[in-house]
Chain A
Amino acid sequence: MASPLKCNLCSKPATVHLTQIVNNKVHKVDLCEECAQAKGVTDPTGFSLSDLLLKASLNTEGSDTGPRCEQCGFTQNDFKKTGRFGCPHCYETFKALIEPMLDNMHKGTTHTGKVPQKALARKSLYDRLTTLELDLSEAIKTERYEDAARYRDEINQVKQAFGEKPAE
């Protein structure tokens, strides 16, 4: 006889089985009586299946041997415990973990909506400025003064684009 299904949240025998079909994709969650009550599943108006799917798919106890985010220090277990990331870089760090989840959770896996154009333009200027400043100090260190002058002029141009006064 097949072994009974286990609750996705606490591993007790599951008695509540939910199936949702979105875009021809079947999503299934198995829950025990207690978890179903706690998550409001018995009240058809009070739960969101995507939140449940996220928590259910994360609920695997174990040692924290996965990657650690180098920006914020978040580990896979931190994410499993909270269902939240610590910083934007976590999306890179835990890419392999969340990519299959996104496919289940959303209509697609690629953003097709609004893009913060102004903020992105500012970020690209900022990144350019950081690179130029590094180049400038390297050029001074190695006594490449012609290059240094060119970098300084470029830095001034970028600063003007930011609305800042150029350096003397």
Chain B
Amino acid sequence: MVSAAADEQRAAILETCREALAATAPLKRAAQASIDELSELDRQILVERHLISRELSGAKNGSGVVISPDQTISVMINEEDHLRLQVLRAGFQLKKAWAAIDALDTALEDCLDYAFSPTLGYLTACPTNLGTGLRASAMMHLPALVISGQMEKVVRAVNQLGLVVRGLFGEGSDASGSIFQISNQTTLGESEDTIIKRLGSVLHSIIEHEINARARLVENDAAKLQDKIGRAYGILQHSHLLTSGEAMNLLSLVRLGADLGYFPEDSRSLVDRLFIEAQPGHIQHVSKSDLDPAQRDSRRAGHLRTEFAAFPAPNFLNGADAKPQNDN
């Protein structure tokens, strides 16, 4: 396992895994990199795009990543375990994501020997991942539950069902932008299908609660809600300094506005893109010189001002009759 492996063993495992991955169909033309080859900024951008974990970004020599051309598959090598396969799908596609990762895992068995016990399943470095080793997660945008102060209740209920709610970047991260990652906590004693079904049914129930919370906000607190969304739009159009946390929260309100029909529906994809582009690594990346945090806040505000100059103004009359929608 990685924690006890010597440098040369890590290097050999990295090479073996890279070869095995390159032999699978979805990763034939994948990009590969060793962590030590990547600059700090490159690593940060990969973290911001959820392609590598924070743990891998700080890993020693002999760790690496393989990313499919469309960035929907990323495989971390010598992170906490030797191999961490990740498949990302937009929308609510847990089963499709599982089918893709299951096929990739089966293909890898041709070349790789997994540490496996018939009773304990896949033997991971940490016993919390033992068994299936499966962490199925969904990123959910839940602004109405946050605004109406119900999120804590949801977190508690979800925890009782053996699932865990975290902020946008997993363990220990905050929940800026009202985006939450909900995933299974237990991995032993249940099959992958059962884990995914259980998570799916909880997600459906959270979506329902979010839709109800939105409907209640529109019905009971329309002026307050429209004020929040209108102000967010105004700040994004006119501010000159924005921290990434603030930008996330403002974009979250505009995204909620798009869901409620206050902005044209196609504006939501722009907001989703800006969620990524407003993060520190991405802001730094487009600038040609090193930026300190205050300079980044200024560049971020500038970028969002430019994007929002052409963004249609909210039409609250449209939205009032529109049925609240949610497709996290």
Contact = CB atoms under 8 A, between A and B. Distances in A.
Interface of A: 20-23, 40, 43-51, 54, 72-74, 82-88, 90-91, 98, 101-102, 105-120, 122-123
Interface stretch (B122-130, B305-313, B319-327): B122-130
Given A23-B162, A106-B130, A115 B3 contact: no
A90 B1 CA distance: 10
Contacts of A47: 171-172
Interface string B114-133: 11111111110111101110
Contacts of A114: 102, 105, 132, 191-192
Nearest to A40: B172
B289 to A, nearest CB: 34
Name the prevailing secondary structure of the A interface residues.
loop
Contact of B189 (A49, A82, A108, A119): A108
B186 A91 contact: no
Interface residues of B, number: 56
Name the prevailing secondary structure of the B interface residues.
loop
Most chain A Cβ neighbours within 10 Å, of B114, B118, B131: B131
Interface in B122-174: 122-123, 125-128, 130-132, 134, 151-152, 155-156, 159-162, 164-167, 171-174
A91 B118 CA distance: 13
B48 to A, nearest CB: 18
A109 B189 contact: yes
A44 B156 contact: yes
Nearest to A119: B109
Contact of A86 (B4, B80, B119, B128): B4
Nearest to B80: A84
Given A46-B172, A46-B173, A113-B191, A91 B117 contact: yes
Given A45-B155, A111-B118, A115-B118, 6 more contacts: A82-B3, A88-B1, A88-B123, A91-B123, A107-B162, A107-B188
A83 B126 contact: yes
B106 interface: yes
B106 A111 contact: no
